[in-house]
Amino acid sequence: MQQYTGRELIELLDRVYNAFDSMCEQHGLQKIETVGKTYMACGGLKVVEKDIDNRLLGSHHSVRVTDFGCSVLSYVHTQTLRNAKKLSVKIGIHTGEVIAGVVGETKPQFSLIGPTINKSSRVCSKCPPGRILISRETHKALQASASNFVFGSMKVDMKGIGLEEVFTVQKRRMQQSKLIGQRRQIINRH
């Protein structure tokens, strides 16, 4: 990012964050905050869930958040920086309870606090660039929702948590899932 002036960097982040904001709305999520180069969004907040399209409520919020992550990755892969490198992000997702509220008087801000926020930050810090890394709790929620994702497993040492299994995740390609279905049909015929 050194090839950008301060103003150009702000313009780049504004363009990218506006795209993320639009994706949040499409997936029924709430943008929580941006701090520097960090963008935080959340799904499943009772305050927000009552106002989203009922079609979106048919999916567990962990599925919607992970779909959002997949959309973000697709978008950033289309963004090329001045040095001809692709823009890259790390996405960490954790599922759990949070406490939400407005904090401050001078410049009030809607905030989320609690162990869930800390753990999602830890998961993100262990994520390889250009990937989505999810916690065991999110993995369990996605499996229970019969989602269309493919997982890879690994163990990481998280600060304040210790050694824990986490999962890389990506959207199953439609062609791949069709082929698997076709193979099952062929196997079932024999």
- Quick: pLDDT tens for 151-177: 999 999 999 899 999 999 988 765 444
* Inside any domain, residue 169: yes
* Inside any domain, residue 188: no
Listed residue (33, 42, 127, 123) closest to 88, CA to CA:
127
* Inside any domain, residue 90: yes
Q: φ and ψ at 21, to 5 degrees?
A: -60, -45
* Inside any domain, residue 183: no
* Inside any domain, residue 93: yes
pLDDT for 96-119, tens place per residue? 999 888 889 998 888 888 999 999
pLDDT for residue 54? 76
Q: State the pLDDT confidence band at 26, using cuts at 50, 70 and 90.
A: very high
Percent above pLDDT 70 for the chain: 89
Through-space distance between the first and last CA atoms of the chain, rounded to whole angstroms: 57
* Inside any domain, residue 159: yes
Q: CA 79, 81, 85: angle at the middle one, nearest 5?
A: 90
Residue 64 has pLDDT above 80, yes or no: yes
CATH at 124 = 3.30.70.1230
By 3-state DSSP, what share of the chain in percent is helix, strand and coil, each rounded to 5? 40, 25, 30
pLDDT for residue 173? 67
Quote the domain boundaries for residue 128. 6-177
pLDDT for residue 45? 87
Residue written as token pair 């830890």 = 122
* Inside any domain, residue 24: yes
pTM, to two decimals: 0.84
**Mean pLDDT, range 63-77, rounded to an integer:** 95
Least confident segment among 40-49, 73-82, 87-96: 40-49
CA distance 153 to 29: 26
Q: State the pLDDT confidence band at 49, using cuts at 50, 70 and 90.
A: confident
Q: State the pLDDT confidence band at 127, using cuts at 50, 70 and 90.
A: very high
Listed residue (129, 145, 170) closest to 95, CA to CA:
145
**Mean pLDDT, range 47-70, rounded to an integer:** 85
Give the DSSP letter string of 8-35.
HHHHHHHHHHHHHHHHHHHTT-EEEEEE
Tally the domains of the chain. 1
